[in-house]
């Protein structure tokens, strides 16, 4: 089938990482995947949550927050604070981001610190949660690199990079990295989080008033893992360019 932006079924949208976008953060990245843009920033506190102290849990902690800014969508999205509570979707996504990052960060090596990962959607055109995870992976890496540079850690406490991508089935064809219009038309929607060595962190998939076969699931997983590998390759380039920058 012909895609709206003329991409091949296995092709990602254009991916751009801008590192160091937030000077006061320990690590920050503006990630653009097509027209979706998410600002990911990391702040580090030199303490851990009270529950860790009470339960005598060693090491550090990492937690994430996610929000869509009011002007990120075609119609204004009210802030959660205006409703007095975090909506269910935002809560689900920030927990997913946190799980994805904790899967690849060695919390023991992080030491008694709390790493806050904030992901704010500036513009939404499908795949905001996957873009947030992919950007957060870079922001966390940059923050850990800074800890090493400040002699607070001997080595970066990250086992490997992690990235995420969406896959959907439209008119019976599996497609990688859906934009908003494609996401609306998809009969099956799947989000995949994976690591640099090809392992899976999480898979979220569901039929939208439809079912899908075992064979279709395998096709989507294969397509998603290819997308994750491509994103991690782009992350590595961004990290190399950041390390070579004069103010890195």
Distance from chain centroid for Cα 174 = 21
Please check whether the domain covering 15-75+86-160+230-242 is classified as CATH 3.40.50.300.
Answer: no
121-to-65, 82, 90, 201, 203 alpha-carbon distances in Å: 11, 17, 11, 22, 22
Name residues whose C-beta falls within 8 Å of residue 93's C-beta, 6 or more positions apart in sequence. Answer: 66, 128, 129, 132
The pTM for the full model equals 0.94
pLDDT of residue 82: 67
Dihedral over alpha carbons 2, 172, 180, 237 (to 10 degrees): -80
- Give the tokens for residue 122: 């500036």
Q: Are 79 and 73 in contact (CB under 8 A)?
A: no
What are the two backbone dihedrals, phi and then psi, of residue 223, each rounded to the nearest 5 degrees?
A: -65, -45
**Hey, what are 116's tokens?**
């806050």
Secondary structure class of 100 (helix, strand, coil): helix
Phi, psi of 46 (to 5 degrees): -85, 50
| Tens digit of pLDDT at every position of the chain (248 positions) | 788 888 999 999 999 999 999 999 999 999 999 999 999 999 999 999 999 999 999 999 999 999 999 899 888 988 877 676 777 888 999 999 999 999 999 999 999 999 999 999 999 999 999 999 999 999 999 999 999 999 999 999 999 999 999 999 999 999 999 999 999 999 999 999 999 999 999 999 999 888 999 999 999 999 999 999 999 999 999 999 988 665 54
């Amino acid at each position: 089938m012909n895609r709206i932006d003329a991409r091949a079924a296995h092709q990602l949208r254009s991916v751009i990482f801008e590192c160091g976008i937030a000077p006061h953060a320990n690590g920050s990245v503006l990630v653009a995947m097509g027209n979706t843009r998410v600002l990911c920033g990391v702040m580090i506190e030199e303490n851990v949550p009270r529950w860790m102290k009470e339960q005598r849990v060693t090491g550090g902690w990492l937690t994430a927050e996610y929000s869509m800014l009011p002007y990120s969508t075609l119609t204004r999205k009210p802030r959660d604070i205006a409703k007095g509570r975090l909506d269910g979707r935002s809560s689900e996504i920030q927990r997913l981001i946190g799980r994805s990052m904790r899967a690849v960060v060695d919390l023991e090596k992080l030491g008694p610190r709390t790493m806050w990962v904030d992901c704010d959607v500036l513009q939404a055109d499908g795949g905001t949660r996957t873009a947030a995870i992919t950007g957060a992976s870079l922001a966390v890496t940059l923050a850990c690199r800074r800890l090493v540079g400040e002699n607070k850690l001997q080595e970066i406490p990250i086992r490997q990079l992690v990235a995420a991508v969406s896959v959907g089935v439209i008119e019976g064809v599996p497609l990688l990295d859906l934009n908003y219009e494609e996401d609306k038309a998809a009969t099956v929607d799947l989000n995949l989080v994976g690591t640099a060595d090809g392992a899976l962190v999480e898979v979220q998939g569901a039929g939208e008033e439809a079912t899908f076969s075992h064979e279709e699931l395998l096709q989507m997983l294969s397509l998603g893992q290819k997308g994750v590998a491509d994103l991690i390759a782009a992350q590595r380039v961004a990290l190399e360019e950041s390390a070579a920058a004069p103010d890195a």
